[in-house]
Amino acid sequence: MSDVDYQQLNGIALAYIGDAIYEVYIRRHLLASGISKPTKLHHRATHYVSAKAQAFLIDKMEEENVMTPTEQEFYKRGRNAKSHTSAKNTNVVTYRISTGFEALFGYLFLSGQQDRLTELANWCIQTVEREGR
């Protein structure tokens, strides 16, 4: 991905790729847990990828100081970005926080930080499971 300058991308563009990247981690986790029926996979995935789940994870990251200062900057770039789409099943604040969450994953992916990306995705999975969400 060296042809994409993540430093120049706006928060919405970072969230666009970050959403897909995080979804792959979740889908792989669910398949590895033995779930194979599409409806059950989709239902379980929402516990991890919904705007509410992502906003919850950001709250936990901030509580536990999980993000580096640079990661916080990219989260805020996504959170503060002007979106031309609206939240479907949540309020605007939650939707913007989840956009920031996805922008963080986009930044990590596009900057080539694979180990950190995997570490953070695993932290998110464990946190959702620990909290019973």
The residues that are catalytic are: 19
Specify whether the CB–CB gap between 56 and 133 falls below 8 A: yes
Nearest C-alpha neighbor of 106 from the set 93, 127, 121, 95: 121
Segment holding 87, helix H or strand E? none
CA 40 to chain centre: 21
